Amino acid sequence: QVQLVESGGGLVQAGGSLRLSCAASGRTFSSYCMGWFRQAPGKEREFVAVTNWTGGRTYNADYADSVKGRFTIFRGNAGNAVYLQMNSLKSEDTAVYYCAADPRPRLGHSSTDYEYWGQGTQVTVSS
């Protein structure tokens, strides 16, 4: 059974940092595309960042314009975990953050690009 479990959310002041973690289990995810999305109250779920396997131990990444230069996505645990380092947080980053994974090799930006989802972790940035 595939499971994605997020952790690391919480309350932080504007300008602060948080690191989100997503542990994947149930199969080997090292060659999967893995990403982060977020959903703020009253808004649609939106793409944040994605990392995709490009061969060997190499991954590439892409980011939403709103987080470029502030957030970094990276893999761990031999590719079976994905992390999101969030720096210089702003109040508009407040949302539930979701981890997602898909076996198709691509830098998916749409929620429909992903087969597996975690339950989400709340990030609240106070101004």
In tens, the pLDDT along 71-107 reads 999 999 999 999 999 999 999 999 999 999 999 988 9
All residues at 6 or more sequence positions from 114 whose CB lies less than 8 Å from its CB, including other chains: 33, 35, 100, 101, 102, 108
**What's the confidence (pLDDT) of residue 55?**
84
Q: Which residue type occupies 13?
A: Q
pLDDT score at 49: 98
- Cβ neighbours of residue 98 closer than 8 Å, sequence gap 6 or more: 6, 36, 37, 38, 39, 45, 117, 118, 119, 120
Reported confidence tier of residue 126, pLDDT bands at 50, 70, 90: very high
DSSP 32: S
d(C-alpha 123, C-alpha 60), whole Å: 25
